[in-house]
Amino acid sequence: MTLAKPRRWKVWSRSKDVTAPLLLFIAIVAAWETLVRSLAVPGYVLPPPSQIAIEIVRDRGIIFDQLLTTLFEIACGYALSVLVGFCLSILIVYSSAFRRGVLPLIVASQTIPVIAMAPILVIWFGYNSAPRIIITALVAFFPLTISFVTGLQAIGPEFIDFFRSLNASEIQIFFKLRLPAALPNIFGGLKVATTLAVIGATIGEWVGASAGLGYLMAQDTAQLNTARVFAALVVLGAFGMAFFAAVGLIERWSMPWVYGQPFFARMWQSRAA
């Protein structure tokens, strides 16, 4: 019962948070609509927002079918990039030879345009989802690796000395010290990687695929069906925001010492008490 008041405050302040960006968004959309109509811009150059909305509703079946393909690639590619990034970061943190020898190669790999790699990966792995998953991971793993490394090295040396003075093993130092201390950086990387994974999967489909939103956009661009290209972009953008928000939510729940106890933990505690 005592929780009710601060809760209400929170909802009020949240709604205030949302108002400003929402108004800005509506203003931009309205300006876009007005300009396109008053200047009589052809639809294949820049469709008005209303036409994009109509397109999303009318072709929802096609768009969401293709979205599912893209989502599968994003999920697999993201998971792969997290796995690779995590393993690489451990090697970089614990092996100076690896750090000196392999880190420059990883940096160099990031200067290769993915758009040039994509067709080669299709030649190597065939006309299936594998090359697109790899491209997604290739785009997303680098910032993940760097943020994991930064995080795992974030803890002060005095904490490590303190753990050593307690005769802690290296494994205990990793799991009970380095890893929890790395969480803020790890989640920073995980959030950046969500948007990169969306871009990676789309590029992969654009270059060589027979399904997915990227493929749909490539087809529609060639046919000057610009409205549906924008429709696909809006759906993709909405998913990207949801993905980012979901990782942000997990971040809040994983670090109660920064963000406070999540609401379900408070409910559980008050029920237990």
Partner 1 sequence: MSDARLLISNLKFAYTAESGRAIPAIDQVDIKLRPNDFVSLIGPSGCGKSTLFNIIAGLLVPDAGAVALDGVDILGRPGSVAYMMQRDLLLPWRTVLENVTLGPELAGRPLAKAKAAARNLLRRFGLEGFENAYPATLSGGMRQRAALLRTILCERPVILLDEPFGALDALTRAAMHEWLAGVQREFQRTMILITHDPDEAVFLSDRVYVATQRPMRIAGTVDIDLAPPRQRDVTMTPAFLDRKRTVLELLHSAPTR
Binding site residues, partner 1, CB under 8 A = 158-159, 161-168, 172, 176-177, 180-181, 183, 255-257
In whole angstroms, what is the distance from residue 40 CA to residue 231 CA?
Answer: 20
Nearer to partner 1, 3 or 62 (CB): 3
Nearer to partner 1, 75 or 255 (CB): 255
Would you say 144 and 136 are in contact if contact means Cβ atoms under 8 Å apart? Answer: no
Token pair belonging to 84: 């690779």
Nearer to partner 1, 241 or 267 (CB): 267
Nearer to partner 1, 124 or 162 (CB): 162
Tell me the longest C-alpha to C-alpha distance in the chain.
75
CA 245 remoteness from chain centre = 9
Residue 55, burial from CB neighbour count under 10 angstroms (0-12, 13-18, 19+): buried
In whole angstroms, what is the distance from residue 127 CA to residue 210 CA?
Answer: 8
Nearer to partner 1, 2 or 210 (CB): 2
Would you say 228 and 216 are in contact if contact means Cβ atoms under 8 Å apart? Answer: yes
Nearer to partner 1, 39 or 272 (CB): 272
Would you say 158 and 127 are in contact if contact means Cβ atoms under 8 Å apart? Answer: no
Least gap, CB of 89 to partner 1 (angstroms): 19
In whole angstroms, what is the distance from residue 206 CA to residue 186 CA?
Answer: 30
Chain length of the chain: 273
